[in-house]
Amino acid sequence: MLFVLTVIITLLADTSIETGPPSIIEIIDEEGQFAFTDGSSTYLFLDDGSFYLDPTGMSGRAVEGNWTNPDSNRFEITGIWGWDNGISLIDDKRKMTIFIYLRSMETEVSELLWRSADSKLYDVYFTIEEITKIE
């Protein structure tokens, strides 16, 4: 019985434990960026704290600003909002709170991100929790 218990403990100790996918912050630290799309816009987080939201087509909403990560999957983006190839307010500063969850580690290389060639688009679930105008 002691022999069987020793074998079981040894096998369990040698079994590698899967740790799950890396966090978005770990991906940014490793790759220098993190990007995803909702079909109409691409969201790009860079390791220097800058953020860009660009339309996937010729026209659409755009945001240029900075991001912070107060906790886990919550990101706060503060930036100037506008519309590419359309009418925009001057100095339309807003704060957006977004929760992002990796759906899988599958990625695709995208030509949609003109700011960063060879960008990987990650497969995510996300919710925009708040958009607030900053006076």
Sequence-distant (≥ 6) Cβ neighbours of residue 73 within 8 angstroms? 24, 99, 100, 101
**80 or 57, higher pLDDT:** 80
6 in a structural domain: no
pLDDT for 27? 93
101 occurs within a structural domain: yes
pLDDT at 112: 52
The pTM (predicted TM-score) of the whole model is 0.78
Residue among 108, 11, 128 at smallest CA distance from 63: 128
Structural domains in the chain (count): 1
Per the structure, the complete domain to which residue 109 belongs is given by 19-133
- 4 found inside a domain: no
Task: Indicate whether 52 belongs to any domain.
Answer: yes
pLDDT digits (tens, 9 = 90+) for 4-55: 444 445 444 554 455 677 899 999 999 999 999 888 888 999 999 999 999 8
Query: pLDDT tens, 64-118?
Result: 999 999 888 999 999 999 988 777 778 899 999 999 999 877 766 665 555 555 6
Establish if 5 belongs to a structural domain. no
* Sequence-ordered list of residues with C-beta below 8 angstroms from that of 45, at least 6 positions apart, any chain: 24, 28, 33, 34, 35, 51, 67, 75
Return all residues near 20 (Cβ < 8 A) that are at least 6 apart.
none
Is residue 103 a contact partner of residue 125, using CB atoms and an 8 Å limit? yes
Instruction: Return the pLDDT at 4.
Output: 44
